[in-house]
Amino acid sequence: MKKIFNIIACAAFALLSASCNTTEQNLNMGENEGVISFSLDFESTRAEVDPQAAFELKIYRYAKDGDKELVRKYTSLAEIPQYIWLIKDNYCAQVKVGEKVLASFTEKYYTGTQDFTITPGNVENVTVDCKLVNIPVEVAYDTTVAKRFTTEYYTYVCVSDSFNLDDAKNNKVPTLKYTDSSKGYFIMPDGSTTLSWYFYGTDGVEPITLSGVITDVEPQKLYTLKFKYSKDAPGGLIISATVDTSVEHRDDKVAFSPDPTVKGVGFDANSPYNYQSGTRTYKVAALDNITQLNITYGDATYELLSNTYDGIAVTKVSAKEYSVDLSEQFFATLYGGNQTIAFRIKDASGGVGYQECVYNIQGILPINAYDLWFNTADFSALSYTSGVTIGYRIAGGEWKQLAVSAAGAANTYNASATDFSAGKTYEYALFANNTQVGKSLSVTTPAGTQIPDAGFESWSTASDKAVCPGADASNLFWDTGNHATASIGAGQLTTESTDVRQGATGTYSAYMKSMKASVLGIGKFAAGNLFVGNFGKIDGMGGIVYFGKKFNFTARPKAIRFWMKNYEGTINEGNHTSGTDLAKVYCCLTDRTYTVNTNKSETLFAPTFETAGVLAKASWESHQSTSEWTLMEIPIEYKDGVTTKPTYLVLTFSCSGYGDYFTGSTDSYMYVDDVEFVY
């Protein structure tokens, strides 16, 4: 029911802003003057406001001391010129629409205020939000009222703390008399927050009168009084008072005396109950035949008049009364904690009854929290018995029992697991003396972050002719030493290969081959390699490499897994001219990257827990050759006492582990595919 009034201010000197039209550009304005063009916008509900209604627009200019000076006033839309000249300054627009009548069936009154600023050279769009000042009060008579009170019936509604018939009849307080279903409008005097009402109805023999009050009346809400006659109701009338807050799009509602009723047999249905065992019985009654009887719990709805359900027994006492039994079998389907079971009933006359019944159920509560980096999970349960534990398991596996500690809330117990992992479905439940109590719950933890491009299905070529593992050579997660060899025409150390393991879903693997490359006529051994990071540049007879990439560890990996096969040749290059070459893999979880210059041995990366920034590591070395594709899994060790997550991943493969020292076999090679973290 919101009405919007738009004030558009166009301000300029010299030349107007391009957003003003040609007519505005021809206006004869002074250097410091601006223009306001005023218009009304009633939005989609324009029919509810009469454009010819009483209207007032006042424009005030703010003084330096904060006072306001009235500079323009218009008392009708017709008075407002197309353009209003104002000098640059701060202003306030006040709008009033309608007549300010304390009680009326027709007159509505709106007001709104908005500050704005005239700035030369700019166009200002100002919206004044005008709100309804009146309190709408609707009286709605059911058809049964006219049938019963054939001579006369009416309702007085007054602005007063209690109803006085003389005051109402003589209009000593703002009063409206409703002789049929209609809506009226009240303006509450300062300090008044209560509406009183009085109903009178007669068939010429015996009149019926009822009265009441509506307290804490607030603006922007619609108050409705509904009257319905029933011979079984106390006094003959059923009266409901509701508050419709759609004006402000809020959802608070007040209801009195719902038609059908729900009562507990031997207990108060409105009081929370600590349920342990047994059957609970409810009596459902209405003034007319019951046409709908439903129970809702969570997302489930039980339609009791048309279906049968395990654990729920419904007995028909009469068309207007039913008995509902909820047994232990039903309560066993509820998980632990504070649970709400709601009854919803309808009768043939359109009456609706709603009753929420709150239970504190023994059993496990939905999981509080889990941390997949620290592998912890926190559980809570509600229990009224002793000897309880909390159990959990990977779905379908063996239960693990956790000792519990009492929590702050009564009858609530906590426990913590220390081996929760990513990508698993866990079940958890409350146990008492090794017997499950209540319903078990489950949670599926999200999979941990995996390594990008680790299937090596995409390859590209960089500007220096280096073949790169990844679709975009300018933005790589993996890199190789190809930049050093390809740029001098010595070939590629690492390329894609169609040799893949049996059962692979992809068509490529990474193939590393060591070689002897010639730089400036001098031969240097280059190891076949693959690493997470970036090759920097050639530096003399060596190169600069940046190991590590930013990585979001959402969970704690247990191992690094990959498929490989390799050949380790006899060392024929470098300082060691005998022995077998070394296949080498290492993985580090760190808080930084590392720069290696192969010309400077002190920068070579040989990670240990003493290496700055290393929080976890895994490594594997072998002089053995493996002719068939083999699945490898290397456990990841974590540094003692570390409580922070790593932020970088360092991971490297090489078929010549002494390559940093330009030593190895030109016969060595390695295939790698499908690298992944194990969580």
Question: Residues 425, 429, 430, CA angle at the centre, nearest 5°?
Answer: 160
Mean of pLDDT values over 468-487? 94
How many whole angstroms separate alpha carbon 376 and alpha carbon 49?
61
The answer to whether residue 273 scores a pLDDT higher than 80 is yes
How many whole angstroms separate alpha carbon 603 and alpha carbon 661?
12
The tokens of 538 are what? 């050639």
CATH T-level topology, domain 135-244: Immunoglobulin-like (2.60.40)
Span of 71-75, 124-128, 172-176, 465-469 with lowest mean pLDDT: 124-128
The answer to whether residue 562 scores a pLDDT higher than 90 is yes
Q: What is the pLDDT of residue 617?
A: 97
- CATH number 2.60.40.10 given to 363-444: yes
Mean of pLDDT values over 499-514? 96
Write out pLDDT tens, residues 213-234.
Answer: 999 998 878 899 988 887 666 5
How many whole angstroms separate alpha carbon 282 and alpha carbon 323?
6
Place of tokens 């007040």: 254
What's this model's pTM, rounded to 2 decimal places?
Answer: 0.55
Contacts of residue 496, defined as CB under 8 A and 6 or more positions apart, other chains included, come to 456, 459, 467, 469, 508, 509, 510, 511
Q: Taking the CB of residue 195, how many other CB atoms lie within 10 A of it?
A: 24
Q: What is the pLDDT of residue 144?
A: 86
Question: Considering the chain, what is the average pLDDT of its residues?
Answer: 86
The tokens of 632 are what? 């490898």
pLDDT range class, residue 577, cuts 50, 70, 90: low
How many whole angstroms separate alpha carbon 653 and alpha carbon 659?
11
Domain boundaries, the chain: 3-132, 135-244, 261-361, 363-444, 459-678
The tokens of 254 are what? 């007040």
Q: What is the pLDDT of residue 28?
A: 54
Contacts of residue 306, defined as CB under 8 A and 6 or more positions apart, other chains included, come to none
CATH T-level topology, domain 3-132: Immunoglobulin-like (2.60.40)
CATH T-level topology, domain 459-678: Jelly Rolls (2.60.120)
Q: What is the pLDDT of residue 9?
A: 35
Q: Radius of gyration over alpha carbons of the chain, in Å?
A: 41
Ranked by mean pLDDT, the top range of 228-242, 444-458, 597-611 is: 444-458
Cα pseudo-dihedral 610, 613, 617, 622, rounded to 10: -70
Is the distance from CB of 301 to CB of 291 less than 8 angstroms?
Answer: no
How many whole angstroms separate alpha carbon 531 and alpha carbon 539?
19
Q: What is the pLDDT of residue 563?
A: 98
Mean of pLDDT values over 263-276? 93
- Side-chain-facing half-sphere of 206: CA atoms under 13 Å: 2
The answer to whether residue 2 scores a pLDDT higher than 70 is no
> Do 135-244 and 363-444 share a fold?
yes
Three-state DSSP string of 500-557: CCCCCCCCCEEEEECEEEEECCEEEEECCEEEEEEEEEEECCEEEEEECEECCCCCCC
DSSP label at 13?
B
Write out pLDDT tens, residues 310-353.
Answer: 999 999 999 999 999 999 999 988 989 999 999 999 988 778 88
The tokens of 504 are what? 């692979």
The answer to whether residue 304 scores a pLDDT higher than 90 is yes
Is the distance from CB of 310 to CB of 329 less than 8 angstroms?
Answer: yes
Is the distance from CB of 382 to CB of 410 less than 8 angstroms?
Answer: no
Give kind and range of the element (H or E) at residue 165. Answer: helix 165-169
The answer to whether residue 401 scores a pLDDT higher than 90 is yes
Is the distance from CB of 361 to CB of 337 less than 8 angstroms?
Answer: yes
Q: Taking the CB of residue 297, how many other CB atoms lie within 10 A of it?
A: 16
Look at residue 331 and give its three-state secondary structure: helix
The answer to whether residue 190 scores a pLDDT higher than 70 is yes
Q: Among the residues of 17-125, which ranges form H helices?
A: 22-25
Ranked by mean pLDDT, the top range of 21-25, 187-191, 486-490 is: 187-191
Place of tokens 């456990």: 635
How many whole angstroms separate alpha carbon 469 and alpha carbon 486?
14
Q: What is the pLDDT of residue 488?
A: 83
How many whole angstroms separate alpha carbon 641 and alpha carbon 630?
34
Computed from CA positions of residues 47, 130, 107, 41, in that sequence, does the dihedral angle turn out positive or negative?
negative
Q: What is the pLDDT of residue 473?
A: 94
The answer to whether residue 39 scores a pLDDT higher than 60 is no
Q: What is the pLDDT of residue 219?
A: 82
The answer to whether residue 242 scores a pLDDT higher than 80 is no
The tokens of 543 are what? 């190169």
CA distance to 21, 179, 182, 183, 272, per residue, from 139 (Å)? 51, 9, 6, 6, 36
How many whole angstroms separate alpha carbon 499 and alpha carbon 22?
73
Look at residue 44 and give its three-state secondary structure: helix
**CATH code for the part of the protein at 261-361:** 2.60.40.10
